[in-house]
A and B are shown apart, each in its own frame.
Chain A
């Protein structure tokens, strides 16, 4: 029973980690709390489903196509709405509020657009993976194992991007010290556009995986946004390892609390843990005190 719950928690945690990664990257590099982020997850699931429906391609081919699509959308949204505001945002509270309001506005625009295009009825998305694995008395569907594998691949890819590529290094530099990055002429707009692209791709992956486990619907973005929020505060705002560890931890806690204490109150334990972390380590587990 315990092993089974841990395994289930790992699956959920993988998706949480993916959603939190895209959210924390944007915060780290652009200091933007992107309230529209959950809607990118939702759109990602719809993009993947649409590609599958119209081209007949399997999930694993449709997903990368959709990831590119959401990455582009995310960049376009950044260029059209946020870039003009960001210059002022670093120097004034007024500017920060404008950015927050714009991303909140985007949340509703994107959600309503999805409802107009696809309707409110939940849809199924089939990964096309069947069968189960049994280890001892732990049962896992192959589909859930694939979720874990995809998240592991994306995390490895992200680390490669951040630590091995030129633009990844620039991105880390901007996240660590914006003034220093400006002083050596790192073209911040281009790098931030890039981080929006990566974030969009991660959101699409997380949303599509969620869609295969549950359902694809226009309202599916709200809960993951809230979770991503909790996870990045838990793990440290802007921290990549914090998002991974935080995501997995919260997935595990929800499952264990749901199984052993109360399913109805499973979210409560997440927030109790969050409060505890904030009391003991206000910057988050992996956060740097400013």
Chain B
């Protein structure tokens, strides 16, 4: 479904990704774990067209998409839940969700998806007419995911969804991500919370300073001593 090959991305003179390659098959949950500054967000932003690669390609659904604007990627079914949620603070929850469906024509299909999102996140239904900025961190994360779902993505990319959330909410998010995947959405999950991500994922990549250093199934990496040492808090747990 998605193939990233030898991707190099730079901010001005500083290169953040030094030739990253990965593949995601339809129906998978794939996670990319790595420390702060490893290039995880850069990878997602490049896949969804916000950043342009210096070289290398992103192929999605059989076509090369690197170089296309993010609006095209959204129309083709790629959605990003950005790190830090980035909801629209002065717009209502309803308006936030509606904007997720900005490029969709069919109003009835959008209305049905809104119902679906509100069924997934009942808390959003209660807050429908409140400004996005008035929600708690966890609720904003749900709004950001709901907003992305409103574009009816085939590939949903989540950037650090667990950041700053209470453990109970993180668990809830994990269940929701697994559910979304069961109902047919392919997931690319980027996390510093490696344990949760690896448990959820079918396959995983470890990204360190702009390079893929390890890859395997979620289970394999959970048991990999080097991964344990670097990303799972050493011997603890």
Q: Which residue numbers of A lie inside 8 Å of B, CB to CB?
A: 91-92, 166, 169-170, 172-173, 176-177, 179-187, 288
Contacts and interface: CB of A to CB of B under 8 A. Distances in A.
A91 B90 CA distance: 24
B12 interface: yes
Contact of A179 (B11, B84, B95, B151): B84
7 contacts: A166-B102, A176-B88, A176-B89, A180-B85, A180-B147, A183-B50, A288-B90
A169 B70 CA distance: 18
B82 interface: yes
B89 A185 contact: no
A183 B88 contact: no
Contacts of B70: 182-183, 185, 187
A21 to B, nearest CB: 17
Contacts of A177: 86-89
Contacts of A173: 88, 91, 99
B184 interface: no
Nearest to A186: B102
A288 B69 CA distance: 30
| Chain A CB within 10 Å, residue with most, of B69, B147, B151 | B69
A92 to B, nearest CB: 7
A95 to B, nearest CB: 10
A180 B98 contact: no
Chain B's interface size range is 20 to 34
B125 interface: no
Contacts of A182: 50, 70, 82
Interface of B: 11-12, 48-50, 69-75, 79-82, 84-91, 95, 98-100, 102-103, 144, 147-148, 151
A179 B86 contact: yes
Top 8 A-B pairs, shortest CB-CB distance:
A185-B74, A180-B86, A185-B71, A183-B82, A185-B70, A187-B71, A183-B80, A179-B86
Nearest to A94: B12
Contacts of B48: 183, 185
B148 A183 contact: yes
B98 to A, nearest CB: 7
B70 to A, nearest CB: 4
A199 to B, nearest CB: 20
Contacts of B87: 177, 180
A184 B148 contact: yes
A268 to B, nearest CB: 34
A172 B88 contact: yes
Nearest to B85: A180
A172 B131 CA distance: 13
Nearest to B50: A182
A91 to B, nearest CB: 7
A179 B81 CA distance: 10
B74 to A, nearest CB: 3
B95 A169 contact: yes
Contacts of A180: 82, 85-88, 144, 147
A183 B99 contact: no
B12 A184 contact: no
A25 B79 CA distance: 28
Contacts of A166: 102
B111 to A, nearest CB: 16
Given A169-B98, A179-B86, A184 B91 contact: no
Contacts of A172: 88, 90-91
Contact of B100 (A184, A187, A288): A184
Nearest to B70: A185
A91 B74 CA distance: 24
